[in-house]
Structure 1
């Protein structure tokens, strides 16, 4: 098989992988691949979870992930499910968005066959030089804005994590109290008095 044919086959396989992959955005920095597999595994088999690094901030907290499902139909089903219902983590809904993945999102994507990529230096006298300069300034500004938003989100995440922990402890205490009452003889007396069969409850 020629090199060109191998490249075409590799790119065709990559395109199929893209079709069966879901892009998850706005994830909590506390989310792990195991959490995603557990959440989505109830709908379909999760083949692979790959986090997308955020190089615009000095923190190792990826907020996006590429989740490869077993086929395109399952991937589309996940997107529909997450559009209609909230993504739950620790019993609390999260504002996670699910969209079809795109080829540009994959760091290991192969080069498209028969497509030449032009790379050139831009001279200061070139009209594109000013455009490139403005783009660079815009990227720097965007980087500063992103960093400020991430710091705010980290604070919000800590508050939410504390709230979830307190709520979980409160629910455990309630269930323990109910369990104690159910085992107490007083509960049996009250049940007989009101005609309630605790065994059926």
Structure 2
């Protein structure tokens, strides 16, 4: 779907326009070839909630020009956010790759009965000073999003450890997707 959108954007936007994707899983090199301007395609990754979170990852793919990367960084600065420029693509970028490992460990601790999801979230917010715990974050962004990201990573790597955890798969199968469905790890009204 993103490839179709980028192809259409290439046709309807001025040729000098930069085409940026917010995804941290779908790197821009998977989209650039459907445009006539791959040098003007990059990732500009905002974090949830975008109006609150200060940091934005700008990712320069192998096709992205230095000028496009620099203009994207300047754009992020102009909207009073803090840009970080990654000069090389990797699925998940920096923050979500680190966060993914934290979420894996949180799910492991829950699945194996070491602590409740509430207590794990509390440890992350009060001991690690995170603004939100991993289970509350999965509920916010969508447990299905976590599932699909893990499935894509597994399809790319073939590594069994990249598959979604059984607990995550079960929640998706039950339709417990977090805030958007009214139930995830927590219940919402």
Q: Same fold (TM over 0.5)?
A: no
Which structure has more RCO (C-alpha within 8 Å, separation ≥ 6)?
A: 1
* TM-score, normalised via structure 2 length: 0.26
Q: Larger Rg: 1 or 2? A: 1
